[in-house]
Amino acid sequence: MSEHCIVIGASHAAAQLVSSLRQEGWEGKISIVGDEPYLPYHRPPLSKAFFVGEKTEEDLLIRAADFYTKNKVDLLLGSRVSRIDRDAKKIILEDDAEIPYTKLVLTTGARVRKIPFVGSELAGVFYMRDLNDVKQTHKFTGPGKSAVIIGGGYIGLETAASLRKIGMNVTVIEAMSRVLQRVTAPEVSAFYTRIHTEEGVDIRTEAGVDAITGEQHVEGVRLADGSTIPADLVIIGVGVLPNVELAEAADLTIDNGIVVDEFATTNDSDIFAAGDCSNHYNPIYKRQLRLESVQNATDQAKIAAKAICGKPEVYRALPWFWSDQYDLKLQIAGLSQGFDQVVIRGDSEQGRSFAAFYFSEGNLIAVDAINRPKEFMMSKRALTAGQSADPLKLADESIEIKDAFN
């Protein structure tokens, strides 16, 4: 059998993987099987520029269509894989077509976590995960209309900013005591609450949803306290779940994602996984991680391609993320979970620029840098190199940021 690498999932990781395979010298056949009818596309703009009509579908493409032609990548888009036969080394599609492989890569990503609110089936209620979701929302948006966003995480807040930009009335409902509570410090949560409030968003924390109301089209959201918020549009953003069902049915090891080693290899030496669906060991933080980020999808895909081509390289990338809201560019380096100290550089209570540095047992573990590119870059470099910083110097803006790092 000639060499054939099949990639399941037309995602960020898939687009990078097929490019890296060719760069690393893979001469065999390559196929991408994706259940959406679209070429791999950028997902971050879905809640921002594409949502408000500033970008087109073509603008979203990670690579143009001719890239796949030039690199001899077969595309099976709009196709769903029903199972993986590891013994026979083939995949079976829903139409019973069988495709043999020599190497298989799972880049199946994640799907939205769905909560069965009463009324969630009404027209005008959406989960923001894929291109179809966002395309359908456009008929419900417009100046003067009202939107309720359930979930005060990054997607919810980015969506709120986008809707305010086009003149909609926006309310954000968060069940916890503050927005971004799972991922950031109280100072950062308070900052984003202030900014969104200044921009005209109504943020309600410790608020439970009782039901989404309306006859055929959504008309409002009824909260647990009995109050109702009018709505022409409801966006639900309460997290995602990794797509591991195919892998699990094929007896691959699953633990909050598809478990892979430092080379992106599963417990089957011919099957690899990368991106949101995978769970890997990170040597910087010395623990297993499942990351939902473009950076991880891209960097891990490169590692998988190297391993497939017989050039194994250990994956040890520092996680980093970003979020764009209004005129704010939030850049995050590292993971802040488990912090016991937060150092603020700048004024988080006024203006729109500061950085929050997270420490654990005296060691720098992460930074949230808002309109602070220098702080982000210095922290990213230090964290990658295993260096820390002086908390007192970080807090003192009269000291150059570079002089605060050890």
Average confidence (pLDDT) over 25-46: 95
The DSSP-derived string for 267-291 is SSTTEEE-STTEEEEETTTTEEE--
Contact 196, 161 (CB under 8 A): yes
pLDDT of residue 48: 86
Contact 246, 84 (CB under 8 A): yes
pLDDT of residue 72: 97
pLDDT of residue 117: 92
Domain annotation for the chain: domains and CATH numbers:
4-111+240-308 (3.50.50.60), 114-236 (3.50.50.60), 327-404 (3.30.390.30)
Per-residue pLDDT of 142-188, as tens digits, reads: 999 999 999 999 999 999 999 999 999 999 999 999 999 999 999 99
Count Cβ atoms below 10 Å from residue 176 Cβ, excluding itself.
15
**For residue 33, what pLDDT band results from cuts at 50, 70 and 90?**
very high
Count Cβ atoms below 10 Å from residue 140 Cβ, excluding itself.
20
pLDDT cut 70: percent of the chain above it = 100
d(CA 375, CA 263): 31
pTM above 0.85, yes or no: yes
* Mean pLDDT over the full length of the chain: 96
d(CA 36, CA 131): 9
Phi, psi (degrees; rounded to nearest 5) at 269: -65, -15
d(CA 191, CA 299): 31
In sequence order, the β-bridge partners of residue 354 are 346, 370
